[in-house]
Structure 1
Amino acid sequence: MGIIALLILPLSACGVGAHAAEVDGHAIYAVDVQTSKATDDDGDWTVHGTTKAPDNAKIIVTNADEDDDFFGDLGGEAANNPASWATVHDGKFSVNIDPISVAYKSKYRAGDQCKVQLFAITDYHEPWTNSTIAKKIATKAVDKFDSTTLTLTSSQAEYFNGLDSDNDDDEDQDSSTATTADSSDSDEPNAESESTSDDVAETTSSSSKISTEYTSALSKAEIYATEMDMSKASLYDQLTSASGEQFSAAAADYAISHLKGVSWNANALAKAKSYQNDMAMAPAAIRDQLTSSAGEQFTQAQADYALSHLS
């Protein structure tokens, strides 16, 4: 399937026409969505728009429903530089939006709608790997600015449902293999049936290969997150690094998005205790190690939590 255009439905909100607001020491700005499309390669929505925010302001994307479990979770990245913040340049921005991050469903259907809140923010220094934004900020944006509704296409629904179909694919592949074996044992094999069976097996194998990468990445992510207490950023690097697991960026995104029961604060605390007990490090040195890009790559907030809970 090719690229499919999406419906963009502006929803009424308080403060229509307002361009900026102040919250928690930040200036947040409304954005005007110009175009949107769904892509087949990784299932994202790609959104282009304009804003009155200054250059280098970060583009925030989260679920716009304050009652939704995903409210405050972040789901955007730079369209031209994955795994980094989308930012404003000359009043314009381009952002990829991951449906899994802003509206995870166990089953996706074409036509499913997701109300997202997009806005720009200044003086926001959290790393892109921080998966949430303060709900106080997100709530202010929802109250002040319009939200946008994005509609899931059939190709997106097929793509995301396929990520979790590994078990079904394996069963289909086993069945196809058995059929082929039976045909080979026959005294008078049907050439057309053999060809069809081979085609099915090849197609199933290809589908299984795609989904297996994602599930394998998730299995590895669970080990690194729960047994090695990695931060989100270091986990992403480990999964995608040429000297690490060598998964694709899309597989790593899927894995991290599907981790269950992982607390990055708890991981930071576990690492801090290890540095304190095993290496007798001072609190300042522990903080540096926890937050360093060459170290554990936890966020400042996660390091604060860890240090405040050290005994």
Structure 2
Amino acid sequence: MKNHLLIGIIVLLILPLSACGVDAHATKVDGHAIYAVNVQATKATDNGDWTVHGTTKAPNNAKIIVTSADEDDDFFGELGGEATNDLASWATVHDGKFSVNVDPINVAYRAKYQAGDKCRIQIFAITDYHKPWTDSTIAKNIATKAVDKFDSTTLSLTSSQAEYFNSLDSNKNDDKKHKDKSSSNKADSSDNDESDAESESTSNDETTESSSSSKTPTEYTSALNKAENYATEMDMSKARLYAQLISASGEQFSEAAADYALSHLKGVNWNKNALAKAKSYQNEMDMAPAAIRDQLTSRAGEQFTQAQADYAMTHLQ
């Protein structure tokens, strides 16, 4: 009887110890441990992002992943988060807490934004994840596992966010119209009204640039201007754009300036850039679909992600 009692006590002592060795907040996928997060506060920022604060059981330095929570979304697997205190880098866990900036464009792109639009995102922590921040996607099976295991977070666009993002497309259209108008009227030097408008625009630009340059290094703003040109005029991928900015045979900007440029680059739809490149290869070079896909994802080619190439090939006609 005493022996049975002793065995029972030992079993009761072992069970709690075993339970303590299992982290109920984590699940394994592809050699990584992914952890749920508890979102505690969100706030819209001046540049259109959300800043999200929360807690997690993930260990220190685990990376925070943000992506769309809709598996049918073209942007599912696209990454939309960065550190709040070190732009163009991973947000990480410290003492069970995290803060991450979330870019609505990367997790819920819309042709037109409206105040109150709902954006359902998946935020989770991951360990042993060594890809650079510039690699803009995560494997879909990892994202799917997070969606299956953890709760998602729904954020709403404010009126100022909607106005800001809509203005990006408006500014692009205005710039294009301005360029077209300037080009068509080059020979007409008697058009004083347009000349005055251009003068006023230039003056405003210089004022803005002067104000901005007092806060931001000139190299950084120059890198951002180049990045905007490469992304919008040449339909580059994020990875190729970054490489072009820092390349010794390219723009020769510092990595810090290139990081700044990418973190402040807004209104770019990388999927649509990939599609534009695919159409160019199809229509201008008569390339076969398989060859186009290889060119889109090749490290010696366009350097789009597999997900972006998938989007391009699916929408290529």
Determine if the TM-score, normalized by the shorter chain, exceeds 0.5.
yes
Check the 8 A contact 2:84/2:101 in 1, yes or no. Answer: yes
Partner of 2:60: 55
Q: Which amino acid aligns with 2:162?
A: A
C-alpha RMSD of matched pairs (Å): 4.4
Partner of 1:107: 112
Q: Gaps (5+ residues) in structure 1?
A: 1-16, 185-196, 273-297, 302-311
**Of the two, which has the highest radius of gyration?**
2
Listed as ranges, the matches of 1:268-287 within 5 Å are 269=298, 271=300
Q: Which stretch shifts more, 56-65 or 156-165?
A: 156-165
1:218-252, Cα deviation, whole Å (9 max, x unpaired): 332367776x9963542464779369899844543
Deviation of 1:149 (Å): 0.3
State the number of aligned residues: 238
Mapped to 2, the partners of 1:94 and 1:203 lie a distance apart of 39
Check the 8 A contact 1:232/1:256 in 2, yes or no. Answer: no
1:30 has 2:42 as partner: no
1:252 has 2:265 as partner: yes
Q: Structure 1 205/78 Cα, relative in aligned 2: closer, same or farther at 3 Å?
A: same
% identical aligned pairs = 54
Q: Structure 1 245/134 Cα, relative in aligned 2: closer, same or farther at 3 Å?
A: closer
Q: Gaps (5+ residues) in structure 2?
A: 1-22, 182-189, 210-221, 279-292, 307-317
Listed as ranges, the matches of 1:210-289 within 5 Å are 217-221=227-231, 231=240, 233-235=242-244, 237=246, 241=253, 248-252=261-265, 254-255=267-268, 257=270, 260-261=273-274, 266=295, 269=298, 271=300
Q: Structure 1 43/230 Cα, relative in aligned 2: closer, same or farther at 3 Å?
A: closer
TM-score scaled by length of structure 1:
0.62
Check the 8 A contact 1:75/1:101 in 2, yes or no. Answer: yes
Listed as ranges, the matches of 1:7-18 within 5 Å are 18=24
Q: Which stretch shifts more, 19-28 or 162-171?
A: 162-171
> Aligned to 2:166, which of 155, 158, 161?
161
Partner of 1:279: none
Check the 8 A contact 2:68/2:108 in 1, yes or no. Answer: yes
TM-score scaled by length of structure 2:
0.61
Check the 8 A contact 1:26/1:121 in 2, yes or no. Answer: yes
- Tell me the SS of whatever aligns to 1:231: helix
1:97 has 2:102 as partner: yes
Q: Structure 1 63/236 Cα, relative in aligned 2: closer, same or farther at 3 Å?
A: farther
> Aligned to 1:45, which of 50, 53, 56?
50
Q: Which amino acid aligns with 1:260?
A: N
- Tell me the SS of whatever aligns to 1:126: coil
Mapped to 1, the partners of 2:169 and 2:265 lie a distance apart of 15
Listed as ranges, the matches of 1:111-260 within 5 Å are 111-166=116-171, 169=174, 181=193, 217-221=227-231, 231=240, 233-235=242-244, 237=246, 241=253, 248-252=261-265, 254-255=267-268, 257=270, 260=273
Mapped to 2, the partners of 1:140 and 1:95 lie a distance apart of 21
